[in-house]
Structure 1
Amino acid sequence: HEFCAMLLLLSLAAFVLQTLVVFAGNSRLFGLLKPGSGWYTNVEMSIRYASLVTPAKWAFAIWGIIYSWEIVAMVYLVLSPTVATPGSLVLWLSANAFQALWAPLFATERLVLSAVALAGIAASLVALGFLLPNTTLLDYLCFAAPVWLHAGWTVAASLVNVNLVAAYSARASAAAQLSLAYASAFAAVLFGLCVIYAGPPLQPLPLVAALAWALAA
């Protein structure tokens, strides 16, 4: 019981800390760093680095939905701790740790390392989605669904980051980048189908929606 309570507190703290780190990374440490300091916002990075699969700017509005919904999930977790198992909370901690690492890595143009961190977020959240108990509709809407949405978007973002690394590699020709772009779109569709097939019935639909959103953008 004490271990579960500790995991619950750590999960809440990790979410708050990761949110602060992400917002700090996307605002040059809340404006403390000036333009030209080597620290870039997400919008600036999308201008500096683009690939054949970089989504349109409007697509990133999904982050607002993800964070708002995950705030609801954290409140629901406090009110109904049985919605998550100890194993799923460990994966939640892992996802938040990777996200906290991703923000400064991406903001400082470390594309390869940020791609690794994004893949870590996606892997943690997909595994978490599979571990969550299949209980009530309220549990799903208030906790599982935002996890699946976040998972889907970070899977798409991971593929974009891989394309960014290739686009700014001196060894990647235009033909190679085009091939990778097509392969990434195919991989996103295939991954969504595999998760739908292997996952709990209907639960991964937000993941598929996030992938579709990214492909449309």
Structure 2
Amino acid sequence: MAEHNKLLIAVMILTVVVLIVTLAFNGASGVGPPLFKNNTGVLSRKYPTGITPSSWVFSIWGVIYTWQCLWLLFAFINIFRKTADGPAYVSPMILPPLLFIAYIFNLCFNTAWIFLFGNEHIVLAFVALFLIAFCLYICMFIAYRNLYRNGPLLQKQGRNIEIWMHRVLVHNGLGIYATWTTIATLLNVVMTMVYGATPGVGIEDSGTVALGILTAELAIFIVSDLFFLDNYSRYTVTPYMVVCLALGGSIDKNWDETKTNSIFSAVLLGIGVTFLVVKIIVMIWRHIRKPLYPTEIAPTTAGIKA
């Protein structure tokens, strides 16, 4: 029978502490001095990119952090739940210490980005944002792999609802965070090219480069998600939603039918919306016709107790 894992509990607690610190600095960044030269809103206006979304889009941060709190709460609740094989969080261990360590690094880079961007270190801020997204993709890889490997055991234990909690809270929670920081990284690519390089590149050309990178990333993501990673990512839909939101917000703020990047963004938005619909249809069809586990359409909580 599995026993409590002290290392895992310790890194989970540390994750919560670091998250609280990160949230505190995020809140302070909206104020500005004395910690930062300017608040993030002022800096976004000071360093325009031509493709930055409208200010209302950035309220997604509230959704992102709420989702992070929910999946962490789910992880902590499992410490106090029991199965016939031991504590639920280690029987089997789906969210291991390595995932939380990678997540802590993401939070540290998040805080670093707040200070770097708030004090106008544009190039270093770009590096920090890239590392945030990189750490989150590591977390997603671990979460996907472990649920896929241990899903049959969870089902055997009658924990189908828990499988869904991983899909909805953990996978989609990490997905919305990783996708948004990926897009934010591309915005920082433009800032780096225009304001951090010597000589700087034009805003329109830099925006085209960023949208071109987004196109390549979107193509790779869609193909891999629908055709190669279905067993892992079938129920992760938030990346598609974030792309549509970001592009819609960009068009809302920057639309000019005479500019290439406006047309480019509109085409990408059309592709994003189309494949969001395709993703949902394919997900439902495969869930009904090709379920990953034989009886998961009828979830149960048998075999587990508080």
Letter of the 1:183 counterpart: G
User: 2:222 is matched with which residue?
Assistant: 193
Deviation at 1:106, TM superposition (A): 0.9
User: 2:18 is matched with which residue?
Assistant: 14
CA distance in 1, matches of 2:69, 2:204: 43
Contact 2:167–2:236 (8 Å) recurs in 1: no
* 2:243 corresponds to 1:216: no
User: 1:52 is matched with which residue?
Assistant: 50
Deviations 1:116-165 (A, max 9, x none): 11111101111211211325112222332211110010000001100111
User: 1:162 is matched with which residue?
Assistant: 189
Q: TM-score, normalised by structure 1?
A: 0.87
Contact 1:7–1:90 (8 Å) recurs in 2: yes
Structure 1, unaligned runs of 5 or more: none
Letter of the 1:209 counterpart: M
Superposed counterparts of 1:165-176, under 5 Å: 165-168=192-195, 169=197, 170-173=199-202, 176=205
CA distance in 1, matches of 2:172, 2:9: 23
Q: How many residues align?
A: 211
User: 1:122 is matched with which residue?
Assistant: 133
SS of 2:50's equivalent? coil
Note the aligned Cα RMSD (angstroms): 2.1
User: 1:207 is matched with which residue?
Assistant: 239
* 2:6 corresponds to 1:2: yes
Max Rg structure: 2
Deviation at 1:70, TM superposition (A): 1.4
Q: Report sequence identity in percent.
A: 19
Deviation at 1:22, TM superposition (A): 1.7
User: 1:27 is matched with which residue?
Assistant: 31
CA distance in 2, matches of 1:173, 1:6: 48
Note closer, same or farther for the CA distance 1:178–1:91 as it changes in structure 2 (3 Å cut): closer
Deviation at 1:27, TM superposition (A): 1.8
Deviation at 1:57, TM superposition (A): 1.2
Deviation at 1:52, TM superposition (A): 2.4
Contact 1:45–1:107 (8 Å) recurs in 2: yes
* 2:164 corresponds to 1:153: no
Moved over 6 A (4+): none
Contact 2:67–2:173 (8 Å) recurs in 1: yes
CA distance in 2, matches of 1:118, 1:105: 10
Deviation at 1:10, TM superposition (A): 1.1
Structure 2, unaligned runs of 5 or more: 80-88, 152-162, 250-306
Task: Select 1:41's aligned residue among 39, 42, 53.
Answer: 39
Task: Select 1:106's aligned residue among 117, 123, 136.
Answer: 117
Letter of the 2:135 counterpart: S
* 2:67 corresponds to 1:69: yes
